Amino acid sequence: MKHPSLLVALFIFQALLPDHISIQAAAANSNLFREYIGSQFNHVKFTDVPINPNVNFHFILSFAIDYDTSSSPSPTNGKFNVFWDLDNLGPSQVSSIKRSHSNVKVALSLGGDSVQDGTKAYFKPSSVKSWVSNAVSSLIRIIKQNHLDGIDIDYEHFHATPDIFAECIGQLISTLKKNKVIKFASIAPFEDQGQVQSHYKALWRSYGHLIDYVNFQFYAYEKTTVTQFIKYFKQQKSNYNGGKVLASITTDGSGGLSPANGFFTACRNLKSQQLLGGIFIWSADTSKGKGFPYEKQAQTLLATHRATGIFNTSVA
């Protein structure tokens, strides 16, 4: 037990800290693990993925897209359709995995890179009002039918200005939250020195207070070192100031910092600095044939409670 005088001194020191420092420290490390699933239609199931009971675990279904399902898909101005493997990841499977694991929630990602035939999935609203109206009604139906808990925004191509994107997505999240349709929302930007960041930064400036997690796609960088990864992480933590930024890897080995080259070393470093908002992986589909080793390793790292730092388990 600490000496009373030390506790008094610590209390006085904390009282003198600026409010923003206290808030950021309290919301630092998290035991949140997230995994995208269902985009490749390779029959991966929720039950295939190892789930550590000591983390907060989010599956993210990939994707719902506001395109039609014809052989030549075209935009539908906010009327979303299911483009994930519904046969293996449908309503009954969602209910079952959440019933079996009290720490599991299931979200839905919107947009993505492309529709199934390779057509790029553009964000293309006719107007803010019509897009939001269509998106709210179609997503309420999909979310309720599939017993989902949240949404993730992963548009990567745009036929709209950053301000229009911000208003459409911000109003969508606000409406779904106000009506208690979703418990949380996240965004999935990546560094492109152009459209992607400009659109998501505009959204963050206007509606960042409604966004619970930033699934930053660090694997979109060229292959990196531990030092570079930590530098990039801190840059994005600054870009999305106050946000809970997650570290990330892809299990297809295409980019970023791989586990073999030190991803988990970087995560431990960020955790020691109280910066690790969680970890997400793209994706269960590519991990299936490898036995999910990185999912296991990531969750073990997140579940480890370091007595030397603040550990936040309050996840939506």
> Does residue 16 have a pLDDT over 80?
no
List pLDDT tens digits, range 154-196.
999 999 999 999 999 999 999 999 999 999 999 999 999 889 9
| pLDDT-based confidence at residue 308 (cuts at 50, 70, 90) | very low
| pLDDT-based confidence at residue 116 (cuts at 50, 70, 90) | confident
Per the CB < 8 A criterion, the answer to whether 97 and 104 are in contact is yes
Q: Write down the pLDDT at residue 8.
A: 35
> Does residue 121 have a pLDDT over 90?
yes
What the block records as the tokens of 241 is 């100031």
Give the whole-angstrom CA distance, residue 256 versus residue 117: 26
Contacts of 183 by beta carbon, 8 Å cutoff, 6+ apart: 105, 149, 150, 316
Per the CB < 8 A criterion, the answer to whether 105 and 149 are in contact is yes
Give the whole-angstrom CA distance, residue 85 versus residue 62: 8
Query: Cα–Cα distances in Å, from 184 out to 150, 173, 206, 238, 297?
Result: 5, 9, 17, 22, 25
User: Does the active-site annotation cover 156?
Assistant: yes
Neighbours of 173 (CB within 10 A): 23
| pLDDT-based confidence at residue 11 (cuts at 50, 70, 90) | very low
Q: Write down the pLDDT at residue 9.
A: 39
Going by C-alpha positions, the residue among 85, 29, 81, 28 that lies closest to residue 59 is: 85
Contacts of 77 by beta carbon, 8 Å cutoff, 6+ apart: 66, 124, 125, 126, 130, 131, 134
| pLDDT-based confidence at residue 24 (cuts at 50, 70, 90) | very low
List pLDDT tens digits, range 41-52.
999 999 999 999
Report the run of H or E that residue 32 belongs to, with start and end. strand 32-37
List pLDDT tens digits, range 250-303.
999 899 999 999 999 999 999 999 999 999 999 999 999 999 999 999 999 999
Sketch out the chain's domains with CATH numbers.
25-303 (3.20.20.80)
Q: Write down the pLDDT at residue 228.
A: 98
Query: Cα–Cα distances in Å, from 156 out to 57, 121, 197, 243?
Result: 25, 8, 10, 20
Q: Which one of the listed residues 156, 167, 191, 222 is annotated catalytic?
A: 156
- Region 16-32 average pLDDT: 54
Q: At what angle do helices 195-207 and 226-239 cross, to 10 degrees?
A: 50
Phi, psi dihedrals of residue 36, rounded to the nearest 5°: -75, 145
- The H-assigned helical ranges of the chain are 4-16, 19-26, 91-100, 128-145, 162-178, 195-207, 226-239, 263-272, 284-287, 293-303
Q: Write down the pLDDT at residue 310.
A: 43
Per the CB < 8 A criterion, the answer to whether 74 and 30 are in contact is no
List pLDDT tens digits, range 206-228.
999 999 999 999 999 999 999 99
> What is the percent of the chain where pLDDT is above 90?
85
First to last CA, the chain: 32
